[in-house]
Structure 1
Amino acid sequence: MARRLAPGFPDGHFFADLGGTDLAPRDPHHVLSGWLRALGSDVDPRADVDELAGRWRSALHGRRALVLLDNAKDTHQVLPLLPAERSCAVLVTSRDWLPGIPGARTTLLGPLTDREAVDLLTARIGAARVGQDPVAAAELARLCDGIPLAVQIAAARLTARPSWPVGALAVRLRDERRRLDELKAADLTVRAVFHLTYTGLPKPQTDTAIDLRRAFRLLGLAPKEVGLPAAAALLGHPAQDTEEALEQLVDHHLVDSPEPGRYRLHDLLRLYAR
């Protein structure tokens, strides 16, 4: 989308990977300092974030600029980086909801379809290699469960092993016990992204409150999709409390709710929960 929009913003394109799924997300102070230097300004490292944010907004006064903030952790990380000019546009991506951003319009991106996953795999490893065994390529894409990161990791592994047929990796992913471990390339791992979200879940505030981490783990033992009564029985709590807990897991993108009162885990998340 950013590439399509870029021609309409001739006065500058600014990008930052905010590292929201990393152990140490990027500090807005660091991002602003880099942008201001790129615009030719000197930056005092002792300046606070509010001062840098003000200078950043002044620098974009009267400009048509496009700002892409990728992988944001939360609203507090994003707010200092927003331009004040209505002539500027900002795209923000995040695994979590980001309430409190003025004028924001939210678009939920669901999992890739099987066709989209194959197309992404093809773009990474080439049509010739996929064409050698399209059935195996389709299976590999399906086993990645529609998660773009998983498809990209699979493609990276195949790129580093040019003599491997696509089906060789698909065979390794068939084994549920090792699937998450196979989806690893250098410092990119699907398990690590899930783990950061899981460990970031809020802890129960009272002894009787539902532990969201435990609820998530228990859902990994359930069938692919469960209704609220079955989930309440599994968690051992009243339906109302169970629904509140599961809705929090939905908000954290660990659980999906296809319709009111129904909950499910995608395949890779279920394996991680187990």
Structure 2
Amino acid sequence: MTDQAVAAVGTVRFYGRQRELKALRADIERTGLDTLTGRKAPRARVLLIAGKPGSGRTALAEELALRLADGYPDGMFRVRLTEPGGDPVPTGRAARELLAALGVAEPPGAAEDELSALVRGAFTGRRALLLLDDAVDAEQVDPLLPDNPDALVVGVARGPLTGIPDVRPCTVGGLDAKSAIELLTTFTGSVRVTVDPQAAESLAEECGGQPGALVLAGGWLAARPKSSVADLTKRLRGLTGSPVERTFALVHESLPQPAARILRHLSLAPLGRADAHTASALAGCSVSAAATTLADFAALGLVREVPQSRPVTDGDGPCGDGQYEVPGYLMPLLRAELTERDRPAEVQLARARMLERTVRLLQSSRAVTEPEGSAARRRLAGLPRALRFPNAATAAAWLDSRRPVLLAAARLAVADGELDTLARRLIAALVRALAAHRGPAAAAPDLYGLHRLVLDVAERRGLHRERAAALLNLADLDASTGRTEDALQRYRLALEAGRAANDPYATGRAMESVGGAYQELGDWQRAGDWYGRALAQRLARDERPDQARLYARLGAVHTYAGRYGEALRNWRAAASGYRRLDDLPGHARALSEAARVQEYAGRPEESLRTCEEAVEWARRARDGRLQAALQLRLADTLDRLGDPAAARLHRSAAERLLGDELLGSEPSAYEIRSGSGED
């Protein structure tokens, strides 16, 4: 919890900690070991705030960042390094969150070291402040430290971060009595404190000055205007445990049973965050009832509203409610209560309801991007109003604001191991929604992680077809980022999985992709061999579009290898295939490549005739840009044959087709390797 309290009118205030703030500000200017030795500090200064959860350590860090904001004009960035359940956040995931906040694109599937280097590089030249909240150890913090002495890092942890040099922790204890009473007064008003100041001091002492306990105590009193401060103090003295444990137990026991059940089930929410839809699904109640209950919890200090970077409300629908977060120090207490009071079957049912609701919202967010009158839009119209987005912009804003939670939901669903069918549906819906709203390229880093989750489920359940699909998707992303060797290995594994599933599409796709990987590596022999295997399967299944494409790919690798006879035969087969498919542009392109091969093989007259034929087919296809490109190639051929007048005519025709566009020589599709007698 924080040293901030939210009053009924929604104001936020900070109490006490002036000594700690002064010490932290002084520590920024303190001479470090590097400066003493005459060297410039190679890295950012690190300040450490140490304390138990609920001590107000994060609020102190936020207040310090607020007061230092003018000195760090490039902004404040933060990332939480501990999951709500207490597990450390992997360095790669923390780095990805920071890169997203910094606006730096990351390659999909990048390793932790690469992501950490990108983070450090992104902070180069920035006078920025980085808040690393709830760090577990130095191994989490060190990879994220900017190599920039003008940046400042504020870390929050339980204790010292041994291994980070030149860091002195500022240890946070309880608030002083005056500040603790001011915090209580925010909830109770001044009258109950003024009439019995001794009782207020006793309550602050009973809470150990811990802001987490004080906020819960204040919320309990605010909900009971007729109860005195002394009454609450007496109740707390009758309980055992830490101040936070005792105040939480009192608040939990005082809730009506339905509300207490909703509160316990919030511990199942991904990242400890829930909106009205999540709470509604977990509890099995209406969305409006869940929204009211969450607002009541916020008044009691049991949850806090998550600030939104931009408003997402736009009329009725899923965006009309905010997100609330369970404070990290309360999460273990909620989970203990859930284990003790709720049956495992009920808990699993709540998880299933939450995942099902999330799937429907994701499907709705994608459907709103489809054209009016489409099947998806008709299905969308049949959904309840609470699940419908009014437009694509609102759906995109919802997806953006919930993205970390949705990704966490996918991870938790896969880790659960008992809801794999729902997990697969959730991932599929999330992949489609991200691709629809953000585009495949921008969503690629998230999609990479989601495909890995699909692979985990497929391997656990022995689902060969899903395993093949996940491996193909991952390999495609590896190939797109230059990790060709990794892609090749995954394509081979996908081929094995496709064969195990007896899936012709997966096996054919994998064989062709293996060939493409070898082509990228420059191994023309193996590339041609694998393209040939894929072609044999397509011929056996009479899959004509794929046949034409594979003939073209075979023609390409034979051209690269300088086997012009084989290349010419395959390009002509590709041209015939495209013509049978009535794909006139494809037919023209294949003919133009055949003309190129003839030129490489030393047959300029044949190349000229073939190129003229390609131009004619491009004209029939009414593809002006293709026709212009082919006429430019034809002009080059005529120049080499010693007919500059005809060449000028074709260049003029190309210029007319392209208008005022800048014209340049078309880059060769294939490099001339060597002469070959195989013609």
Q: TM range, normalised to the smaller chain?
A: 0.5 to 0.7
Question: Aligned letter for 1:109?
Answer: V
In the alignment of these two chains, the number of paired residues is 195
**1:140 corresponds to which residue?**
203
* Candidates 108, 113, 119, aligned match of 1:56: 119
- Asked whether the equivalents of residues 77 and 101 of structure 2 are also in contact (C-alpha less than 8 Å), the reply is no
Q: How far apart, CA to CA, are the structure 2 residues paired with 1:127 and 1:150?
A: 19
Q: Do residues 168 (structure 1) and 231 (structure 2) align?
A: yes
Q: Deviations over 1:118-146 (max 9, x none)?
A: 23333455545544543322221110113
Following TM superposition, by how much is the alpha carbon of 1:59 offset from its aligned partner in structure 2, in angstroms? 0.9
Q: Do residues 108 (structure 1) and 171 (structure 2) align?
A: yes
Q: How far apart, CA to CA, are the structure 1 residues paired with 2:331 and 2:201?
A: 22
Following TM superposition, by how much is the alpha carbon of 1:116 offset from its aligned partner in structure 2, in angstroms? 3.0
Following TM superposition, by how much is the alpha carbon of 1:159 offset from its aligned partner in structure 2, in angstroms? 4.2
Higher relative contact order (CA 8 A, sep 6+): 1
Following TM superposition, by how much is the alpha carbon of 1:9 offset from its aligned partner in structure 2, in angstroms? 0.4
Question: Aligned letter for 2:145?
Answer: L
- Asked whether the equivalents of residues 20 and 94 of structure 1 are also in contact (C-alpha less than 8 Å), the reply is no
Residue 107 of structure 1 aligns to a residue whose secondary structure is strand
* Candidates 163, 167, 183, aligned match of 2:248: 183
**1:98 corresponds to which residue?**
161
Q: Deviations over 1:141-172 (max 9, x none)?
A: 11011333222332343345555443332221
Residue 171 of structure 2 aligns to a residue whose secondary structure is coil
Q: Deviations over 1:88-138 (max 9, x none)?
A: 111112112211113323222233332332233334555455445433222
* Candidates 84, 99, 102, aligned match of 2:147: 84
Report the structure, 1 or 2, having the larger helix content: 2
**2:547 corresponds to which residue?**
none
Q: Which runs of 5+ in 1 are unaligned?
A: 194-274
- Asked whether the equivalents of residues 80 and 94 of structure 2 are also in contact (C-alpha less than 8 Å), the reply is no
Q: Aligned pair in 2 of structure 1 residues 183, 74: CA closer, same or farther (>3 Å)?
A: same
Identity of aligned residues (%): 38
Q: How far apart, CA to CA, are the structure 2 residues paired with 1:89 and 1:102?
A: 14
Q: Aligned pair in 2 of structure 1 residues 139, 100: CA closer, same or farther (>3 Å)?
A: same
Q: Aligned pair in 2 of structure 1 residues 45, 19: CA closer, same or farther (>3 Å)?
A: same
Q: Aligned pair in 2 of structure 1 residues 10, 123: CA closer, same or farther (>3 Å)?
A: farther
- Asked whether the equivalents of residues 114 and 146 of structure 1 are also in contact (C-alpha less than 8 Å), the reply is yes
Following TM superposition, by how much is the alpha carbon of 1:55 offset from its aligned partner in structure 2, in angstroms? 0.6
* Candidates 37, 50, 53, aligned match of 2:100: 37
Q: How far apart, CA to CA, are the structure 1 residues paired with 2:108 and 2:223?
A: 40
- Asked whether the equivalents of residues 213 and 247 of structure 2 are also in contact (C-alpha less than 8 Å), the reply is no
Question: Aligned letter for 2:248?
Answer: L
Following TM superposition, by how much is the alpha carbon of 1:176 offset from its aligned partner in structure 2, in angstroms? 3.8
Residue 183 of structure 2 aligns to a residue whose secondary structure is helix
Following TM superposition, by how much is the alpha carbon of 1:191 offset from its aligned partner in structure 2, in angstroms? 10
- Asked whether the equivalents of residues 184 and 215 of structure 2 are also in contact (C-alpha less than 8 Å), the reply is yes
Report the structure, 1 or 2, having the larger strand content: 1
Q: How far apart, CA to CA, are the structure 2 residues paired with 1:45 and 1:165?
A: 58
Q: Deviations over 1:214-263 (max 9, x none)?
A: xxxxxxxxxxxxxxxxxxxxxxxxxxxxxxxxxxxxxxxxxxxxxxxxxx
Question: Aligned letter for 1:18?
Answer: L
Question: Aligned letter for 1:116?
Answer: S
Q: Aligned pair in 2 of structure 1 residues 68, 128: CA closer, same or farther (>3 Å)?
A: farther
Following TM superposition, by how much is the alpha carbon of 1:63 offset from its aligned partner in structure 2, in angstroms? 0.9
**1:70 corresponds to which residue?**
133
Q: Which runs of 5+ in 2 are unaligned?
A: 1-63, 252-301, 303-325, 334-679
- Asked whether the equivalents of residues 159 and 169 of structure 2 are also in contact (C-alpha less than 8 Å), the reply is no
- Asked whether the equivalents of residues 21 and 73 of structure 1 are also in contact (C-alpha less than 8 Å), the reply is no
Please say which structure displays the higher CA radius of gyration. 2
- Asked whether the equivalents of residues 180 and 204 of structure 2 are also in contact (C-alpha less than 8 Å), the reply is yes
Q: How far apart, CA to CA, are the structure 2 residues paired with 1:118 and 1:153?
A: 13
Q: Aligned pair in 2 of structure 1 residues 191, 11: CA closer, same or farther (>3 Å)?
A: closer
Q: How far apart, CA to CA, are the structure 2 residues paired with 1:91 and 1:47?
A: 26
TM-score by length of 1: 0.60
- Asked whether the equivalents of residues 19 and 71 of structure 1 are also in contact (C-alpha less than 8 Å), the reply is yes
Residue 137 of structure 1 aligns to a residue whose secondary structure is helix
Question: Aligned letter for 1:66?
Answer: L
